[in-house]
Amino acid sequence: MSNALTQDNLDTRREQPVADGSLLIGGQWRPAASGHTLDVYSPIDGRRLCGIADAAQADVELAVRSARDAFERGTWSRMAPAERKRILHRIADRIESHHAELAVLGVRDNGTEIGMAWKAEPGSAASTFRFYAECVDKINGDIAPTPHGTLGLVHREPVGVVGAIVPWNFPLMIGAWKIAPALAAGNSVVLKPSEEASLSLLRLAQLCLDAGLPEGVLNVVTGQGRTAGDALARHPDVDVLTFTGSGPVGRRLLQASAESNLKRVYLELGGKSPNIVFADTPDIARAAEVSALGLFRNSGQVCVAGSRLLVQRPVHDEFVEELTRVARSLRVGDPLRLDTQVGAVSNPAQLARNLSAVEKAQQEGARLIAGGEALFPVAGGHYMAPTVFTDVKPDMALAQQEVFGPVLAVLPFDDEAEAVRIANDSAYGLAAGVWTSDLSRAHRMVRAVRAGVVHVNTYGGSDITVPMGGVRQSGNGHDKSLHALDKYLDLKTAWIQL
């Protein structure tokens, strides 16, 4: 079947049945030990897609043992780097050859509009595997400048078993950000997808096997966070845990590490990212459009979304009017329609949280000027109108708490110093945006705003070559780029008397 992005292809693939899932452990697909499954319902129309295996602690134990056995056997960890590189490239080839299948499967599972999912999910995953494939044979040690008569060598070695827990908003992209560098470094992986969106990662796992990844090197346990996720976080034979998701879950993972084997835990926990518009913004219309899409795409379910819009007073009214016009013009609907610009909210619980945030903002005195309600473009589905609030004060919940939905808080400011104060008045520090014609101001703001990523005269769109990570309660460690390899490698010193 063609991989072309056409409406006929999308309509055909959306009707394909999805088989009830199993766990991948030791290269074999098997049911959960309990025999239980979790029903998967599509946010597009509320229909049941399939079931996924509901892994218990015994399944996680088996998966970790399989990963450890594979690591100790050396079928991957001691494979020649050139061969590991070829296999990672073959995985990328298979992702590309199944591009449409993976994209549509993911959209049916989590509701991202196909125009975004096409590039962000299989497109990004393939490029991520290729990037780290090219790193495999370039991971070198060091020779230290030691005193005469000694030789100091620094080896870089794989950590062993990596546990990866992945969210539902971009499972294939974020999954690749974690799986590919962990594999490139020579580790084995136990992957726990979100129970809200596991299907594209299950398909990826089979493609990895088809590409020649040895059995046991990648294991996938689906199921609930409080059982499978907790068991993975507490397992004493997991060396590193990497997670993208909410702050409360991140805290529980740190606690699980402290109560088990003190495994290293790397967290990406979302944010309340400020998008700062100065009066000298070079193109108000373009900045308003990019800022709107920087929040409302994927129904606001993007960790770096610019959900706090700070606008300098001389252009505040003009900018808000233009952004609101864009917000109202966005087509919300069936995410498998090519003309849809904003897809479904991933699950009914998230939609309820979004609407609760709207209600609380109104109670605190913010002014609703667009959206604020659930929509019903497809019967049985979960959708929400792009929502804009003005008259938001920095201490309101809408300015402090992550909604993870299409709800924008607009705050005015007078000068650069006030913009920095408001931007940094947050527990988070994941991303930010700055719009200005003043190059010196742009550099000052990049230095002053506490965030892991600062966009200038744009918002979003960075690729695999640069790191992704935050500060403060947005987490620690980095995905993407060469820096991501640091999480999955240990340093070992050899001190040799000559």
Contact of 47 with 41, CB cutoff 8 Å: yes
Measured at the CA of 174, the angle between CA 424 and CA 484, to 5 degrees, comes to 75
In sequence order, what are the residues at sequence separation of 6 or more whose Cβ sits closer than 8 angstroms to the Cβ of residue 236? 260, 261
For residue 12, what are the CA distances in angstroms to 2, 105, 119? 11, 12, 20
Contact of 304 with 406, CB cutoff 8 Å: no
Measured CA to CA, the distance from residue 58 to residue 231 in angstroms comes to: 9
Q: Where are the beta strands (DSSP E) in 295-438?
A: 308-312, 367-370, 374-375, 383-384, 387-390, 407-413, 431-435
Measured CA to CA, the distance from residue 243 to residue 192 in angstroms comes to: 10
Contact of 469 with 268, CB cutoff 8 Å: yes
Active site residue 101: no
3-state SS class at 410? strand
3-state SS class at 469? coil
In sequence order, what are the residues at sequence separation of 6 or more whose Cβ sits closer than 8 angstroms to the Cβ of residue 146? 152, 495
Contact of 285 with 297, CB cutoff 8 Å: no
Tokens of 128: 């991520």
> Hey, how many other C-beta atoms are within 10 angstroms of the C-beta on 259?
10
What letter would DSSP give residue 98? T
Contact of 294 with 271, CB cutoff 8 Å: no
Q: Which of 121, 268, 322, 402 is catalytic?
A: 268
Question: Where do runs of H (alpha helix) occur along 185-270?
Answer: 199-210, 230-234, 247-259
Q: Where are the beta strands (DSSP E) in 282-356?
A: 308-312
* Residues recognised as catalytic: 268
